[in-house]
Amino acid sequence: MIAPEGRGIGVANGVDTFRILHVSTGNVCRSPITERLTRYALSHRLGDPLAGGLIVESAGTWGHEGAPMEPNAETVLTDLGADPSGFTGRELLDEHVIRADLVLTATRDHRAQVISMGHSAGLRTFTLKEFTRLVRAIDPATLPDPRCDGFVERARALVRAAAALRGWLLAPSAEADEVYDPYGAPITFFRSIGDEINQALDPVVTALTGVPAGR
């Protein structure tokens, strides 16, 4: 879906693209939930995110290549209105990091693993909750208007602004930036993780699109 030019200047179907990569451990619980909830939220607000150049993917640092999503994760997505169908797990590869414009991880350990792969990933890799915290501090008026400049330019500006704030806006605690692994847990814990992810994504999608959830 992306041309050989790679990160930041990819083109899919003639449209400039911005690629969001969600990363967890096995790519069967947290990152699939986050991927599909992001797609759902973008579709709800934009109609067709691909038309705006926004591509959402996921992978796992110890990804179960080709594995299906955990059944409890599928249930959580269905409960939240998102589509779990057709998902297959992927192991995180260099090419995924190279092509990503924004990497959002479940935990700080995942973030460190992505950054350790190189590819100048440090300035575009955040935990999901870290990125949410930073995005909340960014004045939307300082970002490009997607109606004039497009969603891709707005998204790139958002990542630059968040990276610039990172050293100034620290987490209140080490645990504040973590999304804990529900693998093997009962459906009640999966649902709490799904709600946690959904709440963290809302301000991110609003900042990316300039469209609040209620519209």
Below-70 pLDDT ranges, the chain: 1-15, 214-215
- Residue 125: helix, strand or coil by DSSP? strand
What pLDDT sits at residue 171? 81
Q: Percent of the chain scored above 70 by pLDDT? A: 92
SS3 content of the chain, % helix, strand, coil (to 5): 50, 10, 40
Which two three-digit tokens encode residue 134? 């930073």
β-bridge pairing 125-127 and 102-105:
parallel
Task: Read off the pLDDT of residues 56-83 as tens digits, 9 standing for 90 and up.
Answer: 999 999 988 999 999 999 999 999 999 9
What pLDDT sits at residue 15? 60
